[in-house]
Chains A and B, each alone.
Chain A
Amino acid sequence: MPESLVLSASLEDYLEAIYYLVTENRVARVRDISTRMGVNMSSVTGALRQLSSYNLVHYEPYEVITLTEAGIARAKEQVRRHTIVKNFLLNVLSLDPAVAEDNADRMEHAVDGETLERFVRFAEFVEKCPRGGREWIELFRQFCEREASNEQCERCLRSCLEAIGRRQDGLKPMPENSTDIVPLSGLAPGEKGRVTKVGGQGPIRKKIVEMGMVRGTEVEVEKLAPLGDPMDIKVKGYHLSLRKEEAAGILVEKLPRSPAKGEK
């Protein structure tokens, strides 16, 4: 099928209708088409002539109508789009099936090709990589630029839990059962936590965040200095030292201890 071939909305509808008829009855007739689409038979023959000139259908007057290979491909693609848009409206936006069907029909034609294409990609992306978070949108951009591999999406999924946790923290100021939320200074050496809030203000707070103490980051208290203060905290794979008074402003959700240190 030539990429450049642009069909009018009604021709696309005809092609779709023929595709459905052919898959149901192996062949299509002018009368069937006109019944299915609610148009008169002369309009159908006009459309068939056009489609035939694009080499999408085999059409001779009074003969049964079949699709050419290009026609099948084209129609399949259309159906795929339609289904994706419909499913998106149905599953993601939770619209009524009838409303979804109706809107999907109109959306297919109302928006231009590139936007529809991007929309289809998005719906596809939602299906392939179900997760959330801001980075997810960023990933979508990358998904559009290159073909996304399944491996990539698997990795997305793995970090899904983490992202969901972060998102919930963002929505709710603090979980109801906040018994597990403690200041970082309250963790003993070897204990782990996930940052939920960095308190304080001004340069110090900013500095602490910039050193990697962002919401959702996992931290582990490595040890205390010999005199009991400051603390040595492992964050993003490196060691950061903070005074207890600074660590007191960082709230963490206590996590189960990591397996014993010496373990191989």
Chain B
Amino acid sequence: METIKKTITIALAGNPNSGKTTVFNSLTGSRQHVGNYPGVTVEKKEGYRDHKGYRVRVVDLPGTYSLTAYSIEELIARHFVVEEKPDVVVDILDATNLERNLYLAVQFMELGARLVLALNMSDLAKVRGYEVDREKLSVLLGCPVVPTVATKGEGMSGLLDAAIAQMNETHNLPSVTVKYGWEIEEEIARLSSLLEKCDELASNHSPRWLAIKLLENDTEVREQVRRQCGNSDEILDAVRRSTQHLETVFGDAPEIVIADRRYGFISGACRESVRSTGQSRYDMSERIDSVLTNRIIGLPLFIGLMYLVFQFTFTLGAPLMELLEKLFALMGNVISSLWPAESESALKSLLVDGVIGGVGSVLSFLPNIMFLFLAIAILEDSGYMARAAFIMDRIMHKVGLHGKSFIPMLLAFGCTVPAIMATRTLEHRTDRLTTILVTPLISCGARLTIYAMMIPAFFPLAWRARVLWILYIIGILLALLSAKLIRVTVLRGESTPFVMELPPYRMPTVRGVAIHTWERACMYVKKAGTIILAVSVILWALTSYPKSKELEKEFDREMARVQRLLVSNGDTGGEAAIQEKLDQLQREKEAQMLAHSAAGRIGRFLEPALRPLGFDWRIGTAFLGAFAAKEVFVAQMGIVFSIGDAETSHRSLRQKLHENYSRLTGFCVMLFAMIATPCVATVAVTRREAGSWKWAIFQFGGLTVMAYILTLLVHQIGLLLS
């Protein structure tokens, strides 16, 4: 038994849908760790496994089709191979789709990586009628080819054996290179010899690879040459001349010809090594697709499925959410009981109202998030997600979004937080950012509680449903308009292409779905949760401090007086009335304390700015509190109007609202609530998913400004008309 284990690092690469994640899960089991690649929001998964005296570290590279500089995932994959120099790169190939999968493998060969190819889903390939001569393929490509069936965990040990053997292989790599034909080879040779002189770059990269990348007009390699090479002018000038020369020879850009040639090499290798064992049997996946993306029933089926996802996420989540809320209320009570009943300890308030309230609001999203990601994992692993995008793209593309933006936006009707997390399914950053930025405009469930309280206060029964619809539609329109606006301003640029694989339908595995869901839940709690908690505590402090000793004393005296009255007065009818009076006093105390608090002061301070919208300081203060969570607005309004628990006394709050505000103001409040200031959880999750505070602040500021301007317009025009 060895005491010191040798560690070997394997980078797992492959096309999306090649079964790479399944291989990763199969290899590492539960010993994995999810993080991010430094500086970007692309996930980095790592895991360990012991194999024959080696400690194998497996790093899951992002799933890509190529290694260009056009996408962040592809850049990350190639940076990892170049800079961190894994001992072996294992490229997972979908054996049922070998040609396209080999395109990536060929590029790893060019990069000079020690490569092992995993012929995954080799069982399916056999069913489809392909027989791959692995020996031959291995000779043609110059690297070992190992059959695997990751869903059944088959071939994992063989894969590791091959990786270790490949690592210990001493012959010089790579033994096989793609030849691009003499015209291109000549230019490659010319550029290589120039690049060899650039020690800083050539020490880390193969000159041939650099030359090819330069001919492919790779922006990153160009930049590297410019920065690191003394003879950069000479090199770039040579590249320009070579490119021009090749363009005249081929009548096409060299990057296209190079891609052509790679496929030429690959189809040559495939012709040699893949044998079709007769007519392939009927394709199950195509059968399923002929129903699910059918011209006529495809759309209704999609809507039905989305309804199911929505119900699954929010209906199944609701009882759990309530349970969690009860649990936290109970916890609050237990902790409160540690102090004497009358105590007004600041620590108690911090713990019960600040911390437990905050943790409660973090965790109350958890059931929704878990169920949502369970649903999304099933949709993605089965292959339906791509179809959903396929079906909805026509509409979403009109506003500069991608078909895949639809699902997050739909989920936003339930809750913005999981919706923003669902944007992870979008591959392109611009699409993803745009979707994240506009998602809060879709009215979420919490805003519905605001509408539900406000609408009956100002509108007659016949109008109510209509007003609600109008609000929702305004939200949707604003989201679409903002998306369009963002795409022509901040995130300008070509609309991202819809060049998307429609992968074959596959049965999701319980394990894959479970791991996926669990990861998301952990990520939410760890990353977004901490921010939400911190802000919740700050908001608690803002609405509780500073306290006014005089006010407290005054109320205490008054309450003590009423108390005495209760004791001296024997009859029961009076008791109820006095109790009522006591409660009233308590509520008034809370209202005045809130008015006195920092939040109240800010509300007053902002009042001049809010006046033109028809808002007074009370509404301002309530909105401030609503930052913790939208539904808090209702509770805060209850407190400022001394109604007490607003949930149980909607009627009296509505009465108060009706007395104090006009119908126009009521509508403006709802409009403002809909557009402005996403809740803290939204901001936290945006920061998390967009990767920087910049976007979270942009979203926050943009929405607030938009809300202010629109509400101002509506209010002023409304005043003019009435």
Cβ-closest chain B residue relative to A189: B295
Question: Which chain A residues border B286 with CB–CB below 8 Å?
Answer: 222
Q: What's the Cα separation between A210 and B395 when bound, in Å?
A: 27
Q: Choose among B68, B268, B295, B503 the residue that contacts A139 (Cβ–Cβ < 8 A).
A: B268
B485 to chain A, nearest CB (A): 21
Q: What's the Cα separation between A202 and B68 when bound, in Å?
A: 12
Given A134-B181, A207-B70, A237-B97: A227 in contact with B395 (beta carbons within 8 A)? yes
Are A240 and B499 within 8 A (Cβ)? yes
Question: Which chain B residues border A206 with CB–CB below 8 Å?
Answer: 68, 70, 255-256, 259
- Confirm or deny: B278 has a beta carbon within 8 angstroms of a beta carbon on chain A: no
- Confirm or deny: A256 has a beta carbon within 8 angstroms of a beta carbon on chain B: no
Max chain B C-beta neighbours (<10 A), residue from A135, A210, A223 = A210
Are A133 and B264 within 8 A (Cβ)? yes
Chain B interface: which of A48-56, A101-109, A176-184, A211-219?
A211-219
Are A208 and B499 within 8 A (Cβ)? yes
Are B295 and A210 within 8 A (Cβ)? no
A217 to chain B, nearest CB (A): 8
Q: Per-position contact with A for B478-511: 1 when CB-CB < 8 Å, else 0? A: 0000000000000000100111111110000000
Are B502 and A214 within 8 A (Cβ)? no
- Confirm or deny: B397 has a beta carbon within 8 angstroms of a beta carbon on chain A: yes
Q: Per-position contact with B for A206-244: 1 when CB-CB < 8 Å, else 0? A: 111111101101000011111111101000111111110
- Confirm or deny: B65 has a beta carbon within 8 angstroms of a beta carbon on chain A: yes
- Confirm or deny: B272 has a beta carbon within 8 angstroms of a beta carbon on chain A: yes
A interface, how many residues as a size bin? Answer: 35 or more
Q: What's the Cα separation between A214 and B99 when bound, in Å?
A: 12
Are B65 and A211 within 8 A (Cβ)? yes
Cβ-closest chain A residue relative to B389: A241
Are B70 and A203 within 8 A (Cβ)? yes
Q: Per-position contact with A for B46-69: 1 when CB-CB < 8 Å, else 0? A: 000000000000000000011010
Are B100 and A238 within 8 A (Cβ)? yes
Q: Choose among B289, B499, B502 the residue that contacts A207 (Cβ–Cβ < 8 A).
A: B499
Given A198-B256, A210-B68: A242 in contact with B499 (beta carbons within 8 A)? yes
Q: What's the Cα separation between A122 and B342 when bound, in Å?
A: 101
Are A241 and B502 within 8 A (Cβ)? yes
B71 to chain A, nearest CB (A): 8
A6 to chain B, nearest CB (A): 31
Question: Which chain B residues border A137 with CB–CB below 8 Å?
Answer: 179, 181
- Confirm or deny: A114 has a beta carbon within 8 angstroms of a beta carbon on chain B: no
Q: What's the Cα separation between A242 and B501 when bound, in Å?
A: 9
Given A133-B264, A134-B181, A206-B70: A225 in contact with B259 (beta carbons within 8 A)? no
- Confirm or deny: A155 has a beta carbon within 8 angstroms of a beta carbon on chain B: yes
Q: Per-position contact with A for B85-105: 1 when CB-CB < 8 Å, else 0? A: 000000000001101100100
Are A135 and B264 within 8 A (Cβ)? yes
Q: Choose among B256, B260, B500 the residue that contacts A205 (Cβ–Cβ < 8 A).
A: B256
- Confirm or deny: B298 has a beta carbon within 8 angstroms of a beta carbon on chain A: yes
A134 to chain B, nearest CB (A): 5
Are A211 and B100 within 8 A (Cβ)? yes
- Confirm or deny: B261 has a beta carbon within 8 angstroms of a beta carbon on chain A: yes
Q: What's the Cα separation between A133 and B97 when bound, in Å?
A: 24
Q: What's the Cα separation between A236 and B395 when bound, in Å?
A: 29
Are B295 and A238 within 8 A (Cβ)? no
- Confirm or deny: A246 has a beta carbon within 8 angstroms of a beta carbon on chain B: yes
Question: Which chain A residues border B503 with CB–CB below 8 Å?
Answer: 238-239
List B residues 379-393 near A (Cβ within 8 Å).
386, 390-391, 393
Question: Which chain B residues border A138 with CB–CB below 8 Å?
Answer: 179, 264-265, 268
Are B265 and A135 within 8 A (Cβ)? yes
Question: Which chain A residues border B394 with CB–CB below 8 Å?
Answer: 225, 227-230
Q: Is the interface of A mostly helix, strand, loop or mixed?
A: mixed
Are A226 and B393 within 8 A (Cβ)? no
Q: What's the Cα separation between A170 and B264 when bound, in Å?
A: 14
Are A225 and B255 within 8 A (Cβ)? no
Q: What's the Cα separation between A212 and B181 when bound, in Å?
A: 19
Q: Choose among B65, B263, B395, B494 the residue that contacts A214 (Cβ–Cβ < 8 A).
A: B263
Cβ-closest chain B residue relative to A138: B268
A239 to chain B, nearest CB (A): 4
Q: What's the Cα separation between A234 and B260 when bound, in Å?
A: 18
List B residues 620-645 near A (Cβ within 8 Å).
none
Are B498 and A212 within 8 A (Cβ)? no
Q: What's the Cα separation between A194 and B292 when bound, in Å?
A: 28
- Confirm or deny: B32 has a beta carbon within 8 angstroms of a beta carbon on chain A: no
Q: Per-position contact with B for A184-208: 1 when CB-CB < 8 Å, else 0? A: 0000000000000010011111111
A235 to chain B, nearest CB (A): 8
Q: Choose among B65, B68, B251, B498 the residue that contacts A230 (Cβ–Cβ < 8 A).
A: B498
Q: Choose among A210, A227, A229 the residue that contacts B103 (Cβ–Cβ < 8 A).
A: A210
Q: What's the Cα separation between A230 and B267 when bound, in Å?
A: 28
Q: Per-position contact with A for B244-273: 1 when CB-CB < 8 Å, else 0? A: 000000110101100111011101100110
Q: What's the Cα separation between A232 and B389 when bound, in Å?
A: 12
Question: Which chain B residues border A232 with CB–CB below 8 Å?
Answer: 289, 293, 390, 502
- Confirm or deny: A43 has a beta carbon within 8 angstroms of a beta carbon on chain B: no
Max chain A C-beta neighbours (<10 A), residue from B265, B289, B499 = B499
- Confirm or deny: B578 has a beta carbon within 8 angstroms of a beta carbon on chain A: no
Q: What's the Cα separation between A174 and B263 when bound, in Å?
A: 22
A259 to chain B, nearest CB (A): 11
Question: Which chain B residues border A159 with CB–CB below 8 Å?
Answer: 271
Max chain B C-beta neighbours (<10 A), residue from A201, A228, A237 = A237
Q: List 17 A-B contacts (CB under 8 A).
A: A134-B181, A135-B264, A135-B265, A152-B272, A204-B499, A206-B255, A207-B65, A207-B66, A214-B263, A224-B295, A226-B299, A229-B394, A230-B394, A237-B97, A238-B97, A243-B393, A246-B497
- Other than the given A202-B494, A225-B393, 7 more pairs (CB < 8 A) read A135-B265, A207-B65, A209-B260, A224-B295, A225-B391, A229-B397, A230-B498
Write the residues of chain A forming the contact surface with B, with a CB cutoff of 8 angstroms. 133-135, 137-139, 141-142, 152, 155, 159, 170, 173, 198, 201-212, 214-215, 217, 222-230, 232, 236-243, 246
Closest 4 CB pairs of A and B: A227-B394, A239-B502, A135-B268, A226-B298
